[in-house]
Structure 1
């Protein structure tokens, strides 16, 4: 199931001049012209094609029957330029037909986001909602889809009005009708003496038209202080002796109370599922009982701060920060009206049957690492695809595979560095057991597995970000607040993306250690490639010079983390993508080298080897570890990685063509030079790395879009660096092309 995450405030289209409809209001039974004025929006200076990610609200559920797929331009309607900054979309012959909605259903809104072409980092509008139909309902109090916090025995007044004359109102909560009014256009009712959480539905009917509004009440359960009888860990604690129980623990300082909502209570928790607070640690905890052994349950925390700091939410609904499997959207299968990610809980899970339990890793200095992005390895985009290609890896004679991040990240088709749940394997590529099967199979064939980890930051849906965030527009997304015990309120280095972890905070350190332990012990991961280690400092906001200089705090904390992995597994690989000054990298490379350890450093040599491959003079001296003052062979030299332009692309575009008999812009000549590059890279003593399909002379630019067009940086429409790539190596059977096979 594809995941589409809406990141912007929900806005009523009718109140904004950027968007209008003809007729107004739109009618579901006839044609509609949707007009968009990009002036004053994030698309104001964009000059390319504007696409509409568009759907409708059907029977009260927004974003139904969406046209096409986000980011797939050919599947979504393009806006037509009218003049200046105004665009239009003709919806014909009527909304029911255009969106494929049965006429027995009721359409009450058009839902639309206007976006630029492509998928990665392109400008897009906020979400607009345009009313449909002459009959409209305004819920004045409380707000639609809102949650009101009340003390026990509190009251809630509901007021609403409608257009088009009298209508019938029916208010129910938790499935029980509370009040009805058969004929009014101004409705009011007060629900008194509320002692339990309420899930309200207001149904308003006028003739054959029905509009539904939902809202909620959460009752403060009061202080439930009780000591944890055992020092349980944060997250899920399974009780081996009793698979009908599990204990949940949440560390949530500055929060007043927490409910656990899940499949075991229909996502309508009562005080039975209000978490207790341990007086010694301040952590919230709850023992779940009467679970069915091996049954799949889902849950989320409803975290409440009744007096939040400015611009922070009262209520946050979030999955467990220590989730090992996360579901959202249609995957979550929760009741209508629920939202956000949920954690999977399953007692008595059968353990994976590892075939190799005593894998001997290749020596660090002998590593030939093959870097893989699962998404772009082949059209299957799955662990199974890698399993099916085990002979390809074996014949290539690599002895390690480095997986670009496979931890739960935002969206589906991504590089994976936008991680949100570091202990969960992203389900887009397959199941956890399928990932284990791939690791196990590699170990059976003498191939180590290195995992790329992005632990300097996390992205928006991360629970530790959302529980302590500033969210002034109330859309459920935000940046870390000053209360956040994990993240800085701003990036403390010049390369920051997402929310920046503060690695001097004890809670952050504990989280990182839990993540490392999980992947080493549960998945038998042989090593970590640490992404952007420059980001582990607290000293360098907005300063390139500082970020790129020696920083003692990150040297110390990264040694601490690596020591922890070596305590778990003495032969574990540690690889840093630092790309910094020699003095800092040298300290890591030489760290505990006398014990046979030492941290391996990424050694980028892209431009130097590319000059050679294009037929020009170059100095490749720094591919050797001694050139950087490393005592041992701890430099992972490489000519290509996921982050640089393909050598072959530049060979064909810019290669030396002075000699007609050796024109590097000729494909066969360019491939021949790549063979020479391999011979000048791999034999150099020390670990080396290959970026997937460099071994076949991949000549598609790194900026190739998913439709095969190359979109280089520098334009107003961005580039396609992060796009899903075409698969010419399989589609064109490159293994059957002699010149490419020789390179392999």
Structure 2
């Protein structure tokens, strides 16, 4: 080729290169990423650690970002060319494989996004908090890398001990036999840890409950919380202990025949969550956030509202659920604020509750998808929703096998306090599936929960009275609670009690602030009246579990006004629960349905009731009658 022609092409190439170079200049941290293939077998979220090959692949889902560095204890938390992450061909998954890692110890790490934003790993199983970890005592975890970085830091444990499960043949209780004990670790034992809760298993066995529902244990902001302010949904909050401590508790409960249900929060995330921080501006998620709404779509939202129509949100929630089922062997989930899983914007004011609660077909579809996913994981998982929605919507969800929280705190407490001026004021009709339009009693019914005032507190504060009889007096109030428990436990379907309700816990829910720490009063067991309530709860729970009539029997009921009763019928067995919630004696005329020779399960004596007979019931008096004595 002619030399002049070669020179000409070199000049053209040089000029073209310079032009392209000037046009494509980008500041540090904004390099244009070149898509690359995510290595085979690597999860799209979190860390895939292969101890045998000493390789770990770190991933972060971060759409529309320009660069991501893995900053860690391996490089003194400084970004380098060596820790610059690749973006996968999907344009949203960033990854980096680190080789020749040691096989013991740990790596602390964060992601540096676009050269400015430091975030922890939303999929990590252990985090370090520079502000709150210092107050955690008696729990072993790595030290925060003080002076190296700031903000929440993730931890990859290179030699985390593998838990060896013992209860490998646990059989879950029939869902209609469930008696769930709702428990907040912080306020149940003084040491607020899983190890001490485990010591209470004999107490649960004597009481007879067959499921423990733990208030949220995923990493939440701060230490002293109910747990409904989550930030890292796959991490165990260290305030209660480490992951293996929780696994040991689950294992021990399974060995005792008790299921474990986790209370989980996927309506929202709080500000420490990387899912919020990755797309956040002006104190709210940005419109580009693929997980969270810029503004909540419904009332009673806290934190930042998840968009459950987003594919990334759905994948995140499914990943999290799968992790807790497979890694911790949990038996089901109670989903907090499940009615919030909607993009139908009803507004956030209290006046919008009616519109929010109305039938929402899109929300039904979201829940069917999550339920189908869980049942593919394990067909026997319990799926429980705190929904409080339209009856039609709850009917559809129940038909899919989901269970709905059924809050009867108000009517039960009106009854125990002795107020019946309006017959519907203390009506128990919503105890029964027919009032909900359900084919089966897929209702988790309760008269107390973490979120309701304590029955015994209101009894003692505002109980009604007549003459010398007062619902405020402790022994009387506890007897009335015992009567209410009989109606609750022996009506068809699963039930729930809040911790220490079986002992008549009477500390105001607003003591020390609504979600603040409450006194732990195990001394109640030394009080004969309170211990008597515990023993009666135990009888009721064992009757419920050992007699199939309490699953889904036919019901005849009259549960409005002061004197209430219902009759269950299944095969040749009948059960009648009757009681006077008034503060004075009351008479009831025996009907044909009530007539017969009954067995009194409290005394084992016969009780004959004839049609037209007047049965006089003293204030607070009740009976549990059956055709044949119930199985103990």
Pick aligned residue for 1:721 from 511, 514, 518? 514
CA drift at 1:636: 0.9
Equivalent position to 1:570, from 354, 379, 383: 379
Counterpart position of 1:703? 510
Determine the structure 2 residue equivalent to 1:452. Answer: 263
Alignment match, 2:403: 600
2:475 corresponds to: 668
Distance 2:41 2:74 in 1: 25
Structure 1 residues 461 and 484: alpha-carbon distance in aligned structure 2, compared to 1, 3 A threshold: same
Separation in 2, partners of 1:504, 1:328: 31
Pairwise CA distance, 1:391: 1.0
User: Alpha-carbon deviation of 1:247?
Assistant: 0.2
Residue in structure 1 matching 2:445, options 637, 648, 652: 637
For residues 448 and 224 of structure 1, what CA distance do their matches in structure 2 show? 49
Cα offset for 1:348? Answer: 4.5
TM-score (normalizing by structure 1):
0.64
Q: How many residues align?
A: 489
2:43 to 198, 212, 233: 233
Residues 656 and 665, structure 1, Cα contact 8 Å, conserved in 2: yes
Q: Equivalences for 1:410-489 in 2 at 5 Å?
A: 410-471=221-282, 478-489=283-294
1:64 maps to: none
Determine the C-alpha separation between the residues in 1 that align with 2:111 and 2:159.
22
**1:360 aligned residue (151, 171, 188):** 171
- Residue in 2 aligned with 1:556? 365
Partner of 1:685: 492
The residue aligned with 2:342 is 537
Map 1:22-101 onto structure 2 (within 5 A).
none
Q: 1:505: Cα distance to partner?
A: 0.6
Contact 2:106 2:159 survives alignment (8 Å): no
| Residues 1:397 and 1:431: Cα distance change in structure 2 (over 3 Å) | same
How many Å apart are 1:323 and its aligned residue?
1.2
Kept in 2: contact 1:243–1:348 (CA 8 A): no
Shift of 1:295: 1.6
Partner SS, residue 522 of structure 1? helix
Question: 5 Å matches for 1:157-172?
Answer: none
Match of 2:399 among 578, 590, 597: 590
C-alpha distance in 2, partners of 1:534/1:546?
A: 12
Partner of 1:108: none
Distance 1:689 1:563 in 2: 25
Partner in structure 1 of residue 587 of structure 2: none
Query: For 2:70, what is the secondary structure of its paired residue?
Result: strand
The correspondence for 1:738, drawn from 525, 528, 531, is 528
Residue 35 of structure 2 contacts residue 91 of structure 2 at CA under 8 Å; is this kept in 1?
A: no
Query: Is 1:247 paired with 2:57?
Result: yes
Provide the residue aligned with 1:41 in structure 2. Answer: none
Q: Give me the whole-angstrom Cα distance separating, in 2, the residues matched to 1:401 and 1:585.
A: 24
> What is the match of residue 22 of structure 1?
none
**Alignment check: 8 A CA contact 2:402 2:442 kept:** yes
1:521 and 2:332 are equivalent in the alignment: no
Which residue is 1:43 aligned to? none
Contact 1:243 1:292 in 2 (8 A): no
1:369 is displaced (CA, Å) by 0.3
Deviation (angstroms), 1:526:
0.2
Deviations for 1:687-743, whole angstroms, at most 9, x for unmatched residues? 0000000000001110111xxxxxxxxxxxxxx11111112x22xx11111100011
Determine the C-alpha separation between the residues in 2 that align with 1:335 and 1:666.
56
Which residue of the partner structure matches residue 320 of structure 1?
Answer: 121
**Are 1:658 and 2:475 matched, yes or no?**
no
Assess, with a 3 A threshold, how the Cα gap between structure 1 residues 218 and 739 changes in structure 2: closer, same or farther.
farther
Equivalent-residue separation in structure 1 for 2:499 and 2:49 (angstroms): 43
Q: Does 1:374 align with 2:185?
A: yes
Aligned residues of 1:266 and 1:335 also touching (Cα < 8 A) = no
Measure the CA separation in 1 of the matches of 2:51 and 2:157: 14
8 Å Cα contact 2:122-2:274 kept in structure 1: yes
Residues 482-536 of structure 1: per-residue CA shift (max 9 Å, x gap): 1111111100112211111111110000001001100000000101001111100
Q: Distance in 2 between matches of 1:351 and 1:624?
A: 45
Task: Please give the alpha-carbon distance, in whole angstroms, between the structure 2 residues aligned to 1:541 and 1:626.
Answer: 29
More strand by share: 1
Superposition RMSD on alpha carbons, in Å?
1.7
Query: 2:607 maps to what in 1?
Result: none
The structure carrying a bigger helix percent of its residues is 2
User: Structure 1 CA distance, aligned partners of 2:396 and 2:33?
Assistant: 51
Does the CA contact (< 8 Å) of 1:246 and 1:347 recur in 2? no
| Structure 2 residue ranges without an equivalent (≥5) | 1-26, 134-142, 421-425, 535-632
Say which SS state the counterpart of residue 365 (structure 2) adopts.
helix
In 1, Cα distance between equivalents of 2:286 and 2:155: 28
How far residue 239 of structure 1 moved from its aligned partner, in angstroms, is 4.3
The CA distance in 1 between the partners of 2:226 and 2:216, in whole Å, is 7
CA distance in 1, matches of 2:298, 2:361: 14
Which residue of structure 1 lines up, in the alignment, with residue 537 of structure 2?
none
Give 2:415's aligned residue.
612
Structure 1 CA distance for aligned equivalents of residues 122 and 176 of structure 2:
37
CA distance in structure 1 between the partners assigned to 2:371 and 2:202 by the alignment = 33
**Alpha-carbon shift at residue 390 of structure 1 (Å):** 1.1
Alpha-carbon distance, 1:631 to partner:
0.9
SS at match of 1:260: strand
1:672–1:487 CA distance, 2 compared to 1 (3 A): same
Q: Any idea what SS the aligned residue of 1:256 has?
A: coil
The answer on whether the counterparts of 2:342 and 2:363 sit within 8 Å (CA) in structure 1 is: yes
Pairwise CA distance, 1:220: 5.6
Conservation of the 8 A alpha-carbon contact between 1:221 and 1:274: no
Query: Cα distance, 1:337 vs. partner?
Result: 5.3
Q: Give 3-state SS (helix, strand or coil) of 1:329's partner.
A: coil
The answer as to whether partners of 1:490 and 1:499 remain within 8 angstroms in 2 is: yes
Cα gap change, 1:218 to 1:292, in 2 (>3 Å): farther
Q: Deviations over 1:284-322 (max 9, x none)?
A: 110012211132211010111xxxxxxxxx722111111
| TM-score, normalization by structure 2 | 0.75
The structure-2 alpha-carbon separation of the partners of 1:590 and 1:225, relative to structure 1 and needing over 3 Å to count, comes to closer
Per the TM alignment, residue 219 of structure 1 is displaced from its structure 2 partner at its CA by: 5.8
